[in-house]
Structures are given as C-alpha cells and as structure tokens.
Amino acid sequence: MPRHATVLPVACAVAALWSCAAFAAPESPEKEACRQQEQADGKGDLAAKATCVVKSLFQRRIRRRAGDEPVEMTVGSPPMESEDTETPGDGNWEVNLGMGADWSRDGHRIEFPTADFNYGHGDRWQFSLELPYVFARESAGSGMPALRANGVGDATVGVKWRFYDNEDRGVSLALAPQWRLHTPGANEDVSEGRAFVLPLALVSEFEHYSVTANAGLEFAGGERRSFASVGAGRRLSDSTAVMAEIAGTDLNASDERRVALDIGLRRKLGETRSLSAAFGRDISAGGGAALENHFTLNYQMLFGDSP
C-alpha cells in the first residue's frame, strides 16, 4: 500500500479523536466566553463550540508579560537577527544588555558590552537607541600583521510602528526603520559606516508556536541591498523557549550574499527579566568569502506597568 494511503486514514482518525476530546472536555471560562460571543453573533450551539475549538487550536494570540505567564516565544532581536512586531507598551522601557560576536578565519568583530534602550509610546510605537563597544580584528594577508582596533561603535536609532494587529488571528505587521550613525568622537576604525535600514516584520502567533518573517532594504554608501529572514519559535515550558531562523543579507549582490542558520534559546528569570542566547553559522557566502560564525548573549529587563 502506498505510504500516503496509510498516513491519511491515521491522520483523519487522530484529528477526529482530537476534535471529540475537545468537545467532550469541560469548558474553560475562556472557551465559554468565546462560545457565548459566537452565539451572540448568530451561530448555533454546535457551530459556536466548533468555531471556538478551531480558535483555541490555531488562532490563540499570546502576548503577555505578567510574572505568572509563559516566556515569550516569538523570534525577535535580540538574540535573533529577525525583527519582531512587539513594543513595550505605553510608557514602558525595555533594556537589553549583552554581547555579539562574528568570527571566521579572516578575523572577528566582538561587540561587548552592547546597550539597547527601547521606549514604548502608546500601544503600537517604540523608539530605540543601541550603542556597542567594539573589538575588531581583520587579517591583512599572508605574512602581514593583523589589523586590530577597538572603541565605541556606531549608534543605531530606530522607530517601530505596528500598523496592523489582528488579535483574533494572531497576525501583526510592523515597520521598523533604523539609522546607523557614526558616534561623535568614536574610533573610525571600528565604524561600519552610515546606513538606513527599513525592515517589514510579520508575526503570526499560535497557541504553542509562532512564525516570524522579515523583508527589507539597506541603503549604505550609495548602494541598495536587500535582506530577508524567516523563523519559528516554540515553548519547551512556561519558562523556556527555543527559536530557529534562516537569515539572508546582501541578497541582490551575488559576490557578497550571505545566508545564515541561527538557533536561539530564551529563559525567563522572573516577572521582568529574561536571558537569551543564539548561535549561528553561515551556510552560504558569495564570492568565495569565509563562512562566519555568530553568537549573541542578551539580558533583558522591563520597567513600567505591564502592557
């Protein structure tokens, strides 16, 4: 018998058992409120209950910060490369302290410490400022001493606007323009140059996992480069979440294109504190460039009233 001919009946049986169990289980206050709302919208009892079962399985939006609620599982920066759609909430602060490192056979770039401050204005706006201290080393060629430099790195200022937010479906979209600027008086040897970055972020959240996707453009040195990423996160427990993403940069420049695979872990330490880390490696690099490794470690603190 073909494999799909066996899998399909089994899948149907599992789905039927799951649905029966959901209908037979006692209603939680949340499900009861959902059923009453659906009935108020004109659905019969059976149709209302079926609708609420579907919502609980596939459309439950989770965006919570209180201490008795689970860890955030959405793929986002930090520690991942992808930008998420979350904002701290009106009058709240999100502060990230951490480090980042990129290294290959050609050298390394370590940013430590990195301070990232985010302030929420209203429910959908965020203003941010990031400033790192950089240690850089670059190979100068065979028989030549490596070039070394350290000092305060470029400052990044940004704004995030979550312009679409469908609570029922768990789908949100945000624009997060960022400007990378040379810090006055800082060491030019660690500067990456001025740039304007414009990402569009999409997040779709379900009960047990979430999906994040980014696409955007970077304008620097008179050139325009495209980037994109996609990732997924899942809770392992109420205090631990695992994340994974594939991120590509310089996608429209074949000689400089890079694609990396990143794996991350987030651990909730308390009501307003969390620790996260991510490790990644390039799986593709254009122009024969060396594949790079990536590591990020971040400690996050939240200040203000819970959103």
Give the Cβ contact number of residue 2 at 10 Å.
7
| Residue 110 confidence (pLDDT) | 98
- The Cα–Cα gap between 307 and 305 comes to 6
Q: Would you list the domain boundaries of the chain?
A: 3-58, 93-303
The yes-or-no verdict on residue 67 having pLDDT over 90 is: no
Q: Over 70: is that where the pLDDT of 261 sits?
A: yes
Beta carbons of 171 and 164 less than 8 angstroms apart: yes
Residue among 1, 142, 174, 185 nearest 74 (CA): 174
Match 């872990």 to its residue by tokens: 265
Q: What is the 3-state secondary structure (H, E, C) of the chain?
A: CCHHHHHHHHHHHHHHHHHHHHHHCCCCHHHHHHHHHHHHCCCCHHHHHHHHHHHHHHCCCCCCCCCCCCCCCCCCCCCCCCCCCCCCCCCCEEEEEEEEEEEECCEEEEEEEEEEEEEEECCCEEEEEEEEEEEEEECCCCCCCCEEEEEECCEEEEEEEEEEEECCCCEEEEECCEEEECCCCCCHHHCCCCEEEEEEEEEEECCCEEEEEEEEEEEECCEEEEEEEEEEEEECCCCEEEEEEEEEECCCCCCCCEEEEEEEEEEECCCCEEEEEEEEEEEEEHHHCCCCEEEEEEEEEEECCCC
Q: What is the pLDDT of residue 155?
A: 98
User: What mean pLDDT value characterizes the chain?
Assistant: 87
pLDDT surpasses 90 at 135: yes
Q: What is the pLDDT of residue 96?
A: 98
- For residue 36, the model assigns a pLDDT of 82
Q: What is the pLDDT of residue 238?
A: 93
Name the pTM for this structure.
0.77
Choose between 78 and 44: higher pLDDT: 78
Mean pLDDT of 47-52: 75
* Least confident span in 57-66, 202-211, 212-221: 57-66
What values do phi and psi take at 50, rounded to 5? Answer: -65, -40
CB-based contact 163:171 (threshold 8 Å): no
Instruction: Tell me the per-residue pLDDT of 156-207, one tens digit each, with 9 for 90 and over.
Output: 999 999 999 999 999 999 999 999 999 999 999 999 999 999 999 999 999 8
What is residue 28's predicted lDDT score, i.e. its pLDDT? 63
pLDDT of residue 229: 98
Residue 232: count of CB within 10 angstroms of its CB: 17
Stretch 71-90: mean pLDDT, rounded? Answer: 96
Task: Return the higher-pLDDT residue of 8 and 185.
Answer: 185
pLDDT reading at 272 higher than 90 = yes
Residue 49 has pLDDT above 70, yes or no: yes
Q: Looking at the DSSP assignment, which residues form a beta bridge with residue 136?
A: 109, 149
Q: Do residues 116 and 110 touch, judged by C-beta distance below 8 A?
A: no
Instruction: Provide the angle, in degrees to the nearest 10, between the axes of the packed helices 3-24 and 45-58.
Output: 120
> Residue 86 above 60 pLDDT?
yes
pLDDT over 90 (residue 151): yes
Query: By percentage, how much of the chain surpasses pLDDT 90?
Result: 71
Please report, rounded to a whole number, the percentage of residues in the chain having pLDDT higher than 70. 84
CATH number of 93-303: 2.40.160.40
Tokens of 91: 């009058």
Quote the pLDDT of residue 43: 78
pLDDT score recorded for residue 132: 98
| pLDDT over threshold 50, residue 8 | no
Largest CA distance in the chain: 80
Average pLDDT over residues 276-293: 96
Better pLDDT: 225 or 9: 225
The Cα–Cα gap between 113 and 132 comes to 6
